[in-house]
């Protein structure tokens, strides 16, 4: 894992549907070199695949993250996918889990999830990103196909959706441009050769620019407003450097806490997400009559 590998993962996090050529331009590599680096990252368990991160506002729902401490088994972590309105679950290296919930009512969602899991939450955060445009019937159709194959070539999406390649491409572009969806990598962590890629959860009102000046290689991957928390994807040359960077962040004004967050396994509630998308598809086909 070197600086170019990290920049490549950052570019994928911006839009994992970019071509090898486009990715190569961002990291000064040829397309074959990009392909080979991604293959090695997959072999080493750093890159686990890809998924479609959806702005739950497209469903008229909230974006809620809930974290649970303790020592969870893998089976218990997977069971959390059956909780009310759960979109994905991250089973952490430290034994806890983080759960993404898309509820209509945040105040009711956390107690309902705690009751389902039989564990008290240790923190929660809500993120709100406005929806720029309502999805059309064709948008829903393309999104439904992307969930199962996030990096499907346009020709494959065309067959799956029954749309022309040009129409399929236009709708994918619009969904990503309007930030209704993000096609992003599913990341593990590196622990075999000194270098490490990792996530940090930083609580407080410090800006991302301040945080990045303090720790160097980092990208903002998620942010919540209530309470204010930032999720950073970072790189360090060693565990010692990681520890030192974390300590520096803890001394910054307007930083109340810093938590290292490493995913052991990340699982998406595909059935739940498909159901919401297909409900949206039906609504677009049968709109309510206006008064």
Q: pLDDT (tens digit, 9 = 90+) per residue, 164-203?
A: 999 999 999 999 999 999 999 887 765 555 677 788 889 9
The reported pLDDT for the residue numbered 65 is 93
**Order of strands across the sheet that contains 86-92:** 123-127, 63-68, 97-101, 86-92, 263-268
Between the alpha carbon of residue 66 and those of residues 70, 103, 113, 178, the distances in Å are: 14, 12, 9, 26
The reported pLDDT for the residue numbered 53 is 94
| Domains, the chain | 1-44 (1.10.10.10), 61-130 (3.30.70.980), 191-261 (3.30.70.260)
The reported pLDDT for the residue numbered 234 is 86
What is the distance between the terminal CA atoms of the chain, rounded to a whole angstrom?
59
pLDDT at 102 over 60: yes
Phi and psi (nearest 5°) for 139? -60, -50
Percent of the chain with pLDDT over 70: 96
The reported pLDDT for the residue numbered 289 is 54
* Higher-scoring residue by pLDDT: 249, 221: 249
Across residues 193-220, what is the average pLDDT? Answer: 86
* Rounded Cα distance, 50 and 129, in Å: 22
Structure confidence at residue 217 as a pLDDT band (50, 70, 90): confident
Structure confidence at residue 130 as a pLDDT band (50, 70, 90): confident
Across residues 47-58, what is the average pLDDT? Answer: 93
The reported pLDDT for the residue numbered 97 is 95
Structure confidence at residue 284 as a pLDDT band (50, 70, 90): confident
Structure confidence at residue 242 as a pLDDT band (50, 70, 90): confident
Structure confidence at residue 14 as a pLDDT band (50, 70, 90): confident
Across residues 257-277, what is the average pLDDT? Answer: 90
| pTM of the shown model | 0.82
Give the residue among 248, 201, 268 at the shortest CA–CA distance from 229. Answer: 201
The reported pLDDT for the residue numbered 219 is 85
Across residues 231-244, what is the average pLDDT? Answer: 85
The reported pLDDT for the residue numbered 279 is 95
């Amino acid at each position: 894992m070197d600086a170019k590998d990290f920049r490549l993962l950052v570019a994928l996090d911006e839009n994992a549907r970019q071509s090898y050529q486009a990715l190569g331009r961002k990291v000064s590599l040829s397309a074959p070199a990009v392909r080979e680096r991604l293959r090695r990252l997959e072999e080493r368990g750093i890159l686990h695949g890809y998924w479609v991160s959806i702005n739950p506002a497209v469903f008229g729902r909230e974006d809620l993250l809930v974290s649970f401490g303790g020592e969870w088994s893998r089976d218990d972590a997977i069971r959390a996918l059956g909780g009310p309105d759960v979109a994905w679950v991250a089973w952490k290296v430290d034994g806890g889990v983080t759960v993404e919930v898309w509820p209509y009512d945040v105040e009711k969602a956390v107690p309902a999830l705690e009751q389902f899991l039989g564990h008290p939450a240790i923190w929660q955060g809500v993120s709100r990103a406005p929806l720029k445009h309502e999805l059309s019937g064709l948008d829903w159709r393309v999104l439904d196909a992307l969930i199962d194959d996030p990096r499907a070539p346009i020709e494959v999406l065309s067959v799956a959706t029954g749309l022309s390649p040009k129409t399929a491409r236009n709708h994918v572009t619009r969904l990503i441009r309007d930030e209704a969806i993000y096609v992003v990598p599913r990341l593990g962590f590196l622990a075999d050769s000194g270098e490490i890629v990792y996530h940090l959860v930083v609580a407080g009102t410090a800006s991302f620019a301040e945080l990045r000046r303090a720790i160097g290689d980092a990208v903002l991957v998620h942010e919540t407003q209530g309470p204010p928390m930032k999720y950073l994807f970072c790189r360090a040359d060693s565990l010692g450097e990681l520890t030192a960077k974390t300590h520096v962040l803890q001394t910054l004004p307007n930083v109340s806490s810093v938590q290292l967050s490493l995913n052991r396994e990340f699982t998406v509630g595909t059935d739940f997400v498909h159901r919401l998308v297909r409900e949206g598809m039906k609504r677009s086909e049968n709109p309510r009559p206006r008064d």
